[in-house]
């Protein structure tokens, strides 16, 4: 027992002597500081890497999630083009029926089919020699119809943005089908003949429609497609506003009113009548006094 106590006492004494040395505690402090600092730096590095990875994943996810909703920046605005591949040899042979046109122009814009005259809702284009020719897309869009009509021939309808569509009739053949995405000036078929306008020979009937309403294509040729919507808005605004009479019409109305009232209005007539009554009363009173 005494030997164990001696050994235990000897170990305590050696440990006390070790801690009594001057360099022990500074060494312990430095070692602890190094361990703590290393742990802090490692934790920060791990956290930064996690944040970077998360940002990178979020960036990739955001880019992929939003790519369908992305809008093409700097997309050029198309100008309405003639629906023919070779415009030099093609001319307008029948125009759009305008309600404010002259009598001769209205008659020229009528189509005779089955002993019935109908107003042309577009323009007819034909070559000078009467031959067939390539028909091209006036604007880029999506084909929503490409079928043969027994009276109109092959018909192609292309849908564009904001309720706008273009229609091509009297085609002898087509090179597109429903659902196709087509570019401006892309050939979509060939001009041909139809029963609706037999006297037109080989031609293409071209229409521009906004929300189903036919517009005169010649008003927008070589102009930005946005001009169509602007023109429709201006026309709608004019229809809502009541027509104001012109200065000439106002002058004629006033002159007519003066003629009917002897050149005087009702107020002037009442004043004249009142003055006449006073003079007459005054005269009678003077006469009575003289008598």
Structural element, H or E, at residue 45 = helix 24-66
Beta bridge partners of 146: 156
> Residue 193 class from Cβ within 10 Å (0-12 exposed, 13-18 middle, 19+ buried)?
middle
Among candidate residues 219, 223, 193, the one with its CA nearest the CA of residue 126: 193
Confidence (pTM) = 0.60
- Distance between CA atoms of 260 and 251, rounded to whole angstroms? 14
Q: What number of other Cβ atoms are within 10 A of residue 241's Cβ? A: 7
Name residue, tokens 């107020």.
Answer: 267
Q: Find out whether 206 and 122 touch, Cβ atoms under 8 Å.
A: yes
* Ranges of each domain in the chain: 1-44, 90-240
Q: What is the pLDDT of residue 113?
A: 95
- What does each C-alpha distance from 201 to 125, 132, 138, 156 come to in angstroms? 10, 9, 22, 19
pLDDT tens, per residue, the chain with 291 residues: 556 655 566 656 666 666 666 666 677 777 777 777 777 777 777 666 665 566 556 555 444 444 444 445 556 889 999 999 988 999 999 999 999 999 999 999 999 999 999 999 999 999 999 999 999 999 999 999 999 999 999 999 999 999 999 999 999 999 999 999 999 999 999 999 999 999 999 999 999 999 999 999 999 999 999 999 898 888 888 777 655 555 566 566 666 655 655 555 555 445 555 554 444 444 444 444 443
- What fold does the segment set 90-240 form as a domain? Glucose Permease (Domain IIA) (2.70.70)
DSSP state of 242: P
Enumerate the H helices of 67-161 as residue ranges.
103-108
- Distance between CA atoms of 43 and 32, rounded to whole angstroms? 17
* 82: alpha, beta or left? (left if phi > 0; alpha if psi -120 to 50): beta
Q: What is the pLDDT of residue 69?
A: 45
């Amino acid at each position: 027992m005494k030997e164990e106590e001696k050994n235990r006492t000897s170990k305590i004494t050696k440990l006390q002597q070790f801690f009594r040395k001057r360099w022990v505690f500074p060494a312990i402090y430095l070692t602890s500081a190094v361990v703590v600092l290393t742990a802090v730096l490692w934790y920060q590095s791990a956290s930064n890497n996690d944040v970077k990875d998360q940002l990178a994943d979020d960036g990739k996810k955001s880019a992929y999630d939003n790519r369908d909703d992305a809008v093409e920046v700097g997309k050029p605005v198309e100008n309405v083009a003639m629906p023919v591949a070779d415009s030099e040899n093609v001319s307008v042979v029948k125009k759009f029926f305008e309600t404010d046109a002259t009598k001769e122009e209205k008659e020229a814009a009528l189509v005779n089919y089955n002993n019935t005259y109908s107003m042309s809702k577009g323009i007819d284009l034909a070559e000078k020699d009467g031959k067939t020719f390539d028909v091209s897309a006036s604007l880029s869009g999506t084909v929503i119809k490409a079928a043969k009509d027994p009276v109109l021939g092959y018909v192609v309808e292309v849908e564009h943005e904001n309720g706008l569509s273009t229609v091509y009739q009297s085609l002898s053949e087509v090179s597109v089908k429903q659902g196709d995405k087509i570019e401006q000036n892309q050939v979509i078929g060939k001009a041909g003949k139809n029963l609706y306008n037999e006297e037109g020979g080989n031609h293409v009937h071209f229409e521009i429609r906004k929300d189903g309403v036919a517009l005169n294509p010649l008003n927008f040729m070589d102009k930005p497609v946005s001009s169509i919507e602007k023109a429709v808005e201006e026309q709608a605004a004019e229809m809502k506003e009541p027509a104001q009479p012109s200065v000439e019409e106002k002058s004629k109305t006033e002159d007519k009113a003066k003629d009917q009232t002897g050149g005087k209005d009702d107020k002037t007539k009442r004043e004249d009548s009142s003055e006449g009554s006073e003079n007459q009363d005054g005269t009678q009173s003077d006469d009575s006094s003289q008598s």
